[in-house]
Each structure stands twice: as structure tokens, then as C-alpha cells.
Amino acid sequence: MESFIFAMFNGVLYGMLLFLLASGLTLIFSMMGVLNFAHASFFMLGAYFAYQISEGLNFWAALIVAPVIVGMVGAGIERWGLRPVHRYGHVAELLFTFGVAYVIEELVQMIWGRVPVPYEIPDAMSGALFTWQGFDYSIYRVFMLVVSVAIFVALFALLTYTRIGLIIRAAVSDPIHVATLGHDIPRIFMWTFGFGCALAGVAGVVGGNVLGTEPAMAIQLGPIVFVVIVIGGLGSLGGALVAALIIGIVTRLAIFYDYGLGSLVLALGLEIDTAGMLRDFTRITTAQVAPVLPYLMLVLMLIFKPRGLFGTRDV
């Protein structure tokens, strides 16, 4: 039971990190209809900026400054790059963000090199917060969980209960009338895009020192972010949260218990010839298939529920 709770904790933690990364992409898509392929690249920028700022100042300064810089970069890209492309449709936008992702990756390699940088967890949070039944629950991982929950609550409250959130949602559904009230619609979309990128920057700051800060981190996490928003439903913030938690828990349980698929088949009461053609299949473990599970869920979701768990529009 203790090991199950520990695996669940790690699953929730990984899921909340995925949500933190996917929340910005969900916000941009729900408000602007832009599927930002370069979103994971802003996550990478957040991690590298945090590393650089931590070298000169400290982690806490990086936690504040790095997302602001990433948000400014994102707003600039929307203003001078994405906005002129917008008139040519969603395919042109997707291709533009695809190109931006590769430009950012090349710039990162030119500035920081092709090997991982030593972006470390702050010394004050490197120990265990508490130990329960032989398992250590580290201070930093609990901190990551608190930051992720706080971001979700703040984002939900911002869009639901504040005047800014009301203007943003109105600008999406009826931009002409909102513009007649004196609001600058292009500027609203620019800062919405920048804010979504800043959320990816926050994920990079708190996750870069755990997952490893290297040029390939955007490629590694980028696809799974799209899996989260498709399973949760395009544009649904709550759906992204649920999907991220499901993916985090399922993959971490698969890795933690590491059962052989042959044993699982026998547990279901099915007979299998372990010496025949399926002998290689029986040697596969759940830990080996764990990275594939999110994409398997994506395929099943697209077949049986294309709008995702809480989406209102088709993929």
C-alpha cells in the first residue's frame, strides 16, 4: 500500500508538471485558435533562462524573471511573426510555429552548446520534506506540486472571475463588438499568446532541473503536450488537468510496478505459449511500454471520442 501511494504521488507530480506545460498551450488555443507547435520550445527557453539567472543571482529570482522574459519573447513572436501569418489560415500558422521551434532549438545550441547544462535544484530544497514507510518525499517535488496547483487555481480564477478574463473571452466570441467598446483586440491576443508562453516558461523553471536542461528537451516533451490537450479536449483547461493526471499516474504506475506482459495475460486467465511465436511478447514489461501508453490512449480517444474528455470542438 505504501509503495502504491508513493507511485501515485510521483504520478500526480508528473501529471501536474504536464498540466503546467499544457495549460499555456490550452489557453492559446482556446482563446486564439492557434495550435502552437513551438510551445515546448518556450518550456526549454524557460529552463535555460532559469539556469543562466541562477548562475548570477539565485533560483527565486529565476522563478520570477525567466517566465517574464519568455512571455516577452512569445509576445514579440506573435506581434511581428504570427500575426502577419494569421491571414493565411491555420495551416500557415502551424508551419510558422514549426519553423520557430527549430529556430529556437538552433539558437539554444549556438548559445549554450549541445550538451546538458548543470541546472541544479536549489540546495535549500534538495533534501526530503518527510519520510513515510521508507519512502522519501523531497521538498522540491512537493514545491513543484504546490506551484502547479497554484497556477491552475490562479488561471481558472483569472479567466472566470476577473474583468480581464471577461474581456479575453468576449474578444474570442465577438471581437467586433469588443473592439467597438475601445479594446485593442490585436494587443489582447498578443498578450494572451505571451502569457501562454510565460506559463511554459514557469514549467521550464521548475521542471528543467528535474528532467534535465538540454537542447533535446523540447522534442522529448513536445509531442506528449499535444497528447494531453487532445485527450482533455481542445481548449478545455479542466480537461487538460484531468488528462495530464491520468497520463502521469498511468505511466508512473507502469514504471513503478514493472510487471511482465506475460504475467498480466496469465493473471487474466488466458493461456499463452511462452516458448512459441509470442515468447518475445511475454518478456516485455510494463515499464518498457510506459512511454507508449499516452500515445495509445491518444489513438483510442481519437477513435471513440474525437472531441476528447471535455472538448466542444473536433480535433
**Contact between residue 209 and residue 120 where contact means Cβ atoms under 8 Å apart:** yes
Of 87-101, 125-139, 186-200, 201-215, give the lowest mean pLDDT range: 125-139
In this model, does residue 315 exceed pLDDT 70?
A: no
3-state DSSP call for residue 289? helix
Of 57-71, 114-128, 192-206, give the lowest mean pLDDT range: 114-128
Average pLDDT over residues 32-44: 84
Per-residue confidence at 281, pLDDT binned at 50, 70, 90? low
**Contact between residue 198 and residue 279 where contact means Cβ atoms under 8 Å apart:** no
In this model, does residue 107 exceed pLDDT 60?
A: yes
**Contact between residue 301 and residue 307 where contact means Cβ atoms under 8 Å apart:** no
Of 12-16, 110-114, 211-215, 310-314, give the lowest mean pLDDT range: 310-314
Question: What is the rounded CA–CA span in Å between residue 199 and residue 176?
Answer: 28
Alpha helices in the chain (DSSP H): 2-32, 39-56, 59-77, 83-86, 90-112, 139-161, 163-173, 175-180, 185-211, 217-232, 237-257, 261-267, 279-283, 286-289, 293-304
Q: Which residue has the cell 543562466?
A: 52
Question: What is the rounded CA–CA span in Å between residue 122 and residue 17?
Answer: 18
Kindly compute the dihedral angle of the four CA atoms of residues 150, 155, 157, 158, in this order, to the nearest 10 degrees: 130
* Residue 148 grid coordinates: 502547479
Average pLDDT over residues 174-187: 71
Q: What's the chain's average pLDDT?
A: 82
Beta bridge partners of 132: 135
Distance set, CA 112 to CA 103, 204, 214 (Å): 14, 16, 9
The torsion region of residue 89 among left (phi > 0), alpha (psi -120 to 50) and beta comes to: left
Average pLDDT over residues 226-238: 82
Average pLDDT over residues 151-160: 83
pTM strictly above 0.75: yes
Question: Degrees (nearest 5) of the Cα angle 192, 228, 102?
Answer: 65
The alpha carbon of 86 is separated from its chain's Cα centroid by a whole number of angstroms, namely: 24
Tell me what pLDDT residue 83 has.
Answer: 85
In this model, does residue 279 exceed pLDDT 90?
A: no
Tell me what pLDDT residue 48 has.
Answer: 94
* Residue 310 grid coordinates: 471535455
Tell me what pLDDT residue 276 has.
Answer: 65
